[in-house]
Amino acid sequence: MPVDILIGAQWGDEGKGRFTDLLAADMAIVGRYSGGDNAGHTVTIGTEIFKLHLIPSGIIHEGVVCLIGGGTVVNPAVLLREMAGLAERGISVSPDRLKLSRKAHLITPAHIALDKAKEAARGESAIGTTLRGIGPAYTDKAARVGLRAGLLADPEGLAEAIFAHVEAHNQTLTQIYGVDPLDPTAVAADFASYAQQLAPHLVDEAVLLHEALAQGQPILAEGAQGTLLDLDHGTYPFVTSSHPTAAGALVGLGIGPRHVGRVIGVAKVFTSRVGSGPFPCELTGETAVRLRGTGENPWDEYGTTTGRPRRVGWLDLVVLHHAVRVNSLTELVLTKLDVLSGLEEIPVCVAYEMDGQTTTYLPPDQAQLSRCRPVYETLPGWAEDVTQARALAELPANARRYIEFISETLQTPVSYVSVGPARNQVVTVRNDL
Ligand code: GDP
Ligand code: IMO
Ligand code: MG
C-alpha cells in the first residue's frame, strides 16, 4: 500500500482538514509533515466543530494512528492544550494513538518573542505571520542550533539546552529589538513539565512508518499551509518557513518517492489568502464580502488560527496550474462549491497579463507577480442550493460545467467536490483514481 499525500493547492485554508478526515477512514496512519500551530484545520461532524492546529485531522477516527512528523515544529504547550481539548470531548490522544517524532523541532517562547519582534520591526513590509514562532524555529533548525523533540526524553539535557537557547536569544531580543528578555529558569521549568507529559508519545518515525509500509498499511500525509506558501515554490518572501508541497511530505516523514501513490491537491472554488503579499485576483468591496461572508457562518473566511479576515478573490487557474506542476498532482479536490450558488456569472482567471505579455506560468519574483493582471474567462453561474447534492448528476448543469472547465484547463481529474462543511456534504466525481 502506498503513501497518499494531501496538500493545499492555494495559499492555505482550502479545506485540507475536512478531506483528511474523510480519507482517514481508510488509513492506518495519518501524519503531519510540515508547519506547526500556524495551521488551523477544521473538521465538522454533525454539530461538533473540531479545530486542529498540530494534531493530524485523522484523530477523530478511533482506529487511526496520528503522527506529528519530523518536518514539523511543535510548541509543546499548544500541543498539550490541544490534546486536553480533544480528550475532554471523548477523543483518545493516548500514546498508542498520538505519536510525536523525535526529529520534530520544538518551538519555545523565545521563538514566539522573536517572531513578534521581527514582524514589528518589518513595519509596512511585515509578512503577516501567525506570530506562532514558526519562522524563528525553522531558522534555528537550518542554523543547526534547534531543539529537537527527542530532548523531551532527556530531562537534564533538555534543561541545559533550554537554558542556553533562551540566553542566546535574549541577546538578540534585548540588543537588536529592545524588548524584554525571557527568564531561562522559568522556561526550563515549563519545559520540564511538558517533557514529562509528552515523553511517552515520542517515536522514531522511521520505525513506525517503514514497518507500516512493510506490512502494507495505508498512510496519508496531511499537508498544512499551501503550495503558494512554500518556502521555495510560493510567493517568496510572503511565505511560511517550511515546505507544504508534496516533496515536503517525503522529507518531513522520511519516505522515498517510490512509495507515493495519490497526490491530492485541495483547492477552494475561489481563492483566499491571509497575511501580506501579492494576490493578482484579489477582490475588494461587495464582491469580496459576498465570497468572504460576514463571519456569521463557521465557514466564513476568517482565519481559523488568528481570526483575521481572509483576503479573497475569484478562482486563479494560474495558481492551480503551478500547484499541479510542482506537486505532480494526481487529482484535485474542490471545496466550497455551495458558496458560489446564487451568482449569475463566475469569472475564472485563466492567465496573467504582465508587461504586455500573456502567461499561464506563475512568475517566480514577487515584483513580477505584483505587476500581473488577471485575464478572466466568465462562466455562467447557477441559482440552485447545492448543499444536498451527493452525486454529480444532482448538481446544476452550470455547476458541473464549472467543475469540468477547471479539470479540463488543468488537465487534471477532479475526484471530490464538497458542498458544505459537514463530513457527508461531498459529491464523489470519480472514485477510480
Ligand atoms: P484547512 O486549513 O485547509 O484545513 O481549511 P480551514 O479549516 O482553515 O478552512 C476551511 C473552512 O471551510 C472551514 O471552516 C471548513 O469547515 C469550511 N469548509 C470546508 N469545506 C467546505 C464546503 O464545501 N462548504 C462550506 N460552506 N464550508 C466548507
Ligand atoms: P492552514 O494549514 C493560511 C500564512 C500566514 C502568513 C505566512 C507566514 O490552516 O492552511 P507563519 O506564521 O507561517 O510564519 O506565517 O503564512 N499562513 C497560513 N495561511 N493557512 C495556514 O495554514 C497558514 N499558515 C501560515 O498568514 O501570511
Ligand atoms: Mg486553515
Give the mean pLDDT of the chain.
97
SS3 string, the chain, reads: CCEEEEEECCCCCCCHHHHHHHHHCCCCEEEECCECCCCCEEEEECCEEEEECCCCCCCCCCCCEEEECCCEEECHHHHHHHHHHHHHCCCCCCCCCEEEECCCEECCHHHHHHHHHHHHHHHHHCCCCCCCCHHHHHHHHHCCCCCEHHHHHCHHHHHHHHHHHHHHHHHHHHHHCCCCCCCHHHHHHHHHHHHHHHHHHEECHHHHHHHHHHCCCCEEEECCCCHHHCCCCCCCCCCCCCCCCHHHHHHHHCCCHHHEEEEEEEEECCEEECCCCCCCCECCHHHHHHHHCCCCCCCCCECCCCCCECEEECEEHHHHHHHHHHHCCCEEEEECHHHHCCCCEEEEEEEEEECCEEECCCCCCHHHHCCCEEEEEEEECCCCCCCCCCEHHHCCHHHHHHHHHHHHHHCCCEEEEECCCECCCEEECCCCC
pLDDT tens digits, 30-43: 999 999 999 999 99
Q: How confident is the model over 145-167, as a mean pLDDT?
A: 98
Which residues sit with Cβ closer than 5 angstroms to ligand 3, an ion? 13, 40, 304
Using a pLDDT cut of 70, give the percent of the chain over it: 100
Residue 307 has pLDDT above 90, yes or no: no
Q: Of 41, 105, 201, 233, which one is the catalytic site residue?
A: 41
Residue 280 has pLDDT above 70, yes or no: yes
pLDDT band at 1 (very low <50, low <70, confident <90, very high): low
Residue 269 Cβ inside 6 Å of ligand 2? The answer reads no
Q: Which ligand is nearest to the CA of 57?
A: 1
Catalytic residue check, 230 = no
- Residue boundaries of the structural domains of the chain: 3-90+205-428, 105-201
pLDDT value, residue 359: 96
Residue 304 has pLDDT above 80, yes or no: no
Residue 363 Cβ inside 6 Å of ligand 2? The answer reads no
Residue 67 has pLDDT above 70, yes or no: yes
pLDDT value, residue 121: 97
- Quickly name the fold that domain 105-201 has: Adenylosuccinate Synthetase, subunit A; domain 2 (1.10.300)
Q: How confident is the model over 250-272, as a mean pLDDT?
A: 97
pLDDT value, residue 306: 78
Question: Which atom belonging to ligand 2 lies closest to the Cα atom of 115?
Answer: 14
Cα(39) to centroid(ligand 2), Å: 6
Residue 10 Cβ inside 6 Å of ligand 2? The answer reads no
pLDDT value, residue 16: 98
Using a pLDDT cut of 90, give the percent of the chain over it: 97
Cα(238) to centroid(ligand 2), Å: 10
Residue 432 has pLDDT above 90, yes or no: no
Supply the residue whose CA is at minimum distance from atom 15 of ligand 2. Answer: 129
**Of the given ranges (90-99, 151-160, 177-186, 295-304), which has the lowest mean pLDDT?**
295-304
Q: Which ligand is nearest to the CA of 292?
A: 1
Residue 297 has pLDDT above 90, yes or no: yes
pLDDT tens digits, 170-193: 999 999 999 999 999 999 999 999
CATH of 3-90+205-428, one of 3.30.565.10, 4.10.80.40, 3.40.50.2300, 3.90.170.10: 3.90.170.10
Catalytic residue check, 105 = no
pLDDT tens digits, 190-210: 999 999 999 999 999 999 999
pLDDT value, residue 268: 98
